[in-house]
Structure 1
Amino acid sequence: MSAPQMTVAIDDGGRHATAHVPSQAATLDLRGDTEQDLMTAVFAQAHAEARSSGQTITVAVSGGIDTAPMRLEVDPDQTIRPAPEQTPGQGPVTPNRERPQGRPGGGTPVVRIQAEGTEPSVPVRSPASDPTPESAAVAAEEEDGHAHSPARPLHPMSGLAAPEIAPGAGEPARLGVRGRLNAMFGLRLAPQPQSPEMRLRAAESVITRTLPDFSVMTVANPKGGVGKTPIAVALTQTLANLRGAGTVVCADLGEVGGSLAKRVAVRPPHDNDIPALLAAHPDPRAPIRPSELAQHLTRQPSGEDIIAGRRGGATSVLGRNDAAHLAAIVAQHRDILVADTGNNPLAGSWQWAVTAADAVVVPVPLRWDAADAAEEMITELASTGNIVLQRTIVVITTGPGDAPMVEHDTVEALRELGVPLVARMPFEPLFASGERLALSRLQPHTRAALTRLAEEVVKTITGP
């Protein structure tokens, strides 16, 4: 005789569930102030059902943030465990409910421009010379997205399947309903193969790839106040958090110094800056011990190091040779240099940071002045024939006071210029606040977006 089955359908908000209770042949409404409270109510009902029937019951859960169905067994003594997989002839499995299109699942990544099976609302395409159909639109926050160049076929970020052998596939779920059940009841339910959690694990696997050589990632837009420093700091934190401490350095390469030292969690001492490091080690070809380099860097909570730019005591601006000198020193003991640039594209340090970059990230808020500055910069890159254009990722950022019509015109202009990748970041209040930045203080959807963006940066450096 098969065990009685209690079916539970959680709504998309995760605060309400409809439970069919076999002993009562009735449907009950269960509610909770939080998703954890709701799951507690669900399993309190399941325990009561098991006790009243005096036998193990099966609980089939579907819906909520994690829409894939799951089946659990609940004993009268309140033991909970995953139910055995059903085989043909054992009866129907609770069908999966479709999530409404356009709604991200549990802390989804960067933005998407199209939902699967629909036409993109904002077309983002590769240059006209690209013959492949995949190089059309896609990807970043809730309903917008980004596009890939011919070298990197385009996939919708919202529905990108995990690899055949997904990284971390054997680990218990940490996110969504399954993650909460694991935390609450000590279970080891695995995430679904196509879940947002598995997509993020796949992104993390890409980020931890071995790089072919020392790499430079530059954040640039000649317009001030567009969020270059917050994105540079947060991307550095994301890379270091996943690649390990002591692998990434973020440097302020503004010709007269910027706000990097004021936005990090641990501010550097006044004498820790680029001019001081270059003066202490005037020959970039000479070996430097790790401990000597560390004296000029300031370690941050996520494991990254930062170095301030030109400060009050310096007598000259940072030039092209200074930036190259810094990179040669850092390359001896670090994998990645993240360059936070200033606002003067004629400055030598700015030109080095852009032309030497293995990946360039261009933040573009939805404002006409910021979009125009980015377009002019990219137009100049395109006119020189520099291959750095093919390593450029434009990140459209959202926030209060946005002019939505800017996005369509900007994306169309970038398409015409041949930018291979456009992504969209959700609004992060801490970025706009001017406060110090720490990965742990960012909103979950921002951290997920940064993980997806860091993945694209590493793909740009290493290839798909």
Structure 2
Amino acid sequence: MSALAIEITGERTAVARGAGAEEVDLTADKGQSIHAVIAAYSRKHSADAGAPVEVVVNEAGRTNYLTVEPDGNVSRSLPTGPIAAAAGREVPQVDVAPEPVTMSVAPIGHLPVSAPDTMWREGNVQKQRPPVPWQRPNPDTSVRRSQAHASTRSTRPAMSVLAAPEITPGSSEPARTGIRGRLNAVLNLGLAPKPESAEMRHRAAIAAITGPIPGFSIVTVANPKGGVGKTPIAVGLNAVIAQHRGAGSTVCADVAEVGGSLADRVSVPPRAGQDVLALVAAQAAAPGSIRPSELSRFLSRQPGGEDVVAGIFDGFDGAALGYDDVESLANVLSEHREILIADTGNNRLAGSWQWATSNANVLVVPVPLRRDAAAAAHRMLLDLAAAAGSDILARTIVVITDGPGDAPMVEIEAVDAFLEVGVHSVRRMPFEPLFASGERIATSQLRSTTTESLTVVAGAVVELIAHAAG
């Protein structure tokens, strides 16, 4: 991974230096921020190199570390190695890791070698092995035997030398896309994809999606500006996660105060009674009695195995979804699903909106390249950070979406503003005609670039869920 060291020397000036390169003076034009110039320069450097670039920006003694991908995605990071300093200037170094601690780790799925003999496993539950009544060992001999066993276990390898070497998922598979993929298909070769290629990023995202998570988690898709693509993003993430984690692992719920467009956008529309309030009412009538077979009555199963809970139907005159309603919904779903994707409305004062944002393990914010949509999202994040602390920003992913009528210059300023307030990462999604059409979304009809982008975003979401547990 190449590196850039950039020092901001004035309100509109900066100096950039990379390994083996001369100093480059950066200057912002009138009406343009120096941060926007730095973002554009870093993106061009990454695109020219065809690989991610690690950028360290030093401004008045404060240092920010960013990783810029060739496709324009930007995320905060810690340095992976030494970063070249500009001539005559020092770049502050950060101690990114404590002293290493040596640990003995057993292979996944096997009992640790140091575990007592009385422990055994059944599924994912660790239990005490029941004692055998006719065995009553002499205390003295049992002590000597346990010491001997402990000595033997301390020198015994955790895995047999005859075991086949571990295979990292996706690493040994031949390339299927790009030039190498075409060569493999035409010439029957086995060329592996480049480590920094889009295909390897896609495979890494799939590996992240299928990884372990701590339990029931809530992913909230929010932006108080209407028409920014919250529902298509929620539907897409729901489908991609279910595709790789398995059917019935995730559910998307419309938690808008008076119902949103989720029921009108999914491939299989919900029937009467398959909505949030009906499920909440059933839970209230018989608390704790909803079993998986009964839960399916309230969910609309989609072709990919993902589930959907619609918003409020017209039959509930005068009803509105409140804070307690969404909390009851989550309590029921937490017993049967791993992930709840909350598709929010536009009313920030609604109790359902406040529950979804305050309880989110991960916040996904769709932002079209329009100044009004970017400003609304930015104000929302500032307010959430003021109310709940900056921790929510570290669990936020902003998804920049392309579309007709976009203003490309807004992207540089928006990305810079979101990263400046502490957003975890900013991802980019290409224009998807099916999302913009207002028609029902069949994920099999999405463009391949859209599916790949959704997979990368979903991988980042699950990684945040997993790391939060650690």
2:344 corresponds to 1:341: yes
Give distance in 1, aligned partners of 2:278 and 2:56: 45
RMSD, matched Cα: 3.1
Match of 2:149?
Answer: none
- Please report how far the alpha carbon of residue 128 of structure 1 lies from its aligned counterpart in structure 2 after TM superposition: 8.2
**2:309 corresponds to 1:307:** yes
Aligned to 1:136, what secondary structure does the other structure show? strand
Q: How does 1:258-337 map to 2 (within 5 A)?
A: 258-282=260-284, 286-314=288-316, 315-337=318-340
Moved more, 331-340 or 403-412: 403-412
Aligned to 1:191: 192
- The question of whether the paired residues in 2 share the 8 Å contact of 1:323 and 1:352 is answered with yes
The alpha carbon displacement at 1:170 in A equals 3.6
Sort the Cα spacing of 1:114 and 1:331 in 2 relative to 1 into closer, same or farther, 3 A.
Answer: farther
When residues 327 and 193 of structure 1 are mapped into structure 2, their CA distance, relative to the original with a 3 A threshold, is same
Match status 1:401 vs 2:405: yes
Query: Are 1:421 and 2:425 counterparts?
Result: yes
Counterpart residue identity of residue 349, structure 1: S
1:461 corresponds to which residue? 465
Aligned partners of 1:132, 1:301: CA distance in 2, in Å?
47
CA contact (8 A) 2:255 2:343 kept: yes
Instruction: Give, in angstroms, the shift of residue 179 of structure 1.
Output: 4.0
- Extract unaligned runs of 5+ from structure 2: 1-41, 82-165
Q: Distance in 1 between matches of 2:44 and 2:290?
A: 49
**Within 5 Å, which residues of 2 pair with 1:56-455?**
113=43, 115-116=45-46, 135-139=65-69, 143-148=71-76, 166-180=168-182, 187=188, 189-194=190-195, 195-282=197-284, 286-314=288-316, 315-386=318-389, 387-455=391-459
How far apart in 2 are the matches of 1:385 and 1:293? 33
Distance 2:181 2:242 in 1: 25
Assess if the C-alpha contact under 8 Å between 1:217 and 1:339 holds in 2: yes
Indicate the SS of the match to 2:211.
coil
CA contact (8 A) 2:370 2:407 kept: yes
Q: Is the 8 A contact 2:46 2:68 kept in 1?
A: no
Deviation at 1:153, TM superposition (A): 7.6
Write the distance in 2 (CA, Å) between the matches of 1:322 and 1:193.
Answer: 49
1:124–1:411 CA contact under 8 A, matched in 2: no
TM-score, normalising length: structure 2: 0.66
Structure 1: 5+ residue runs without aligned partners? 1-111, 155-163
Q: Could you tell me which amino acid in structure 2 is paired with residue 388 of structure 1? A: I
Distance in 2, Cα, partners of 1:376 & 1:177: 43
Q: Structure 2 vs 1, CA of residues 129 and 447 (structure 1 numbering), >3 Å: closer, same or farther? A: farther
Secondary structure of the residue aligned to 2:68 is coil
SS at match of 1:410: helix
TM-score (norm. length: structure 1): 0.67
Output the CA distance in 1 between the equivalents of 2:167 and 2:452.
21
Q: Distance in 2 between matches of 1:320 and 1:153?
A: 43
Report the equivalent of 1:158. Answer: none
Distance 1:370 1:123 in 2: 29
Distance in 2 between the 1:411 and 1:192 partners?
A: 30
Equivalent pairs, count: 338
How far residue 423 of structure 1 moved from its aligned partner, in angstroms, is: 1.4
Q: Which moved more, 1:375-384 or 1:336-345?
A: 375-384
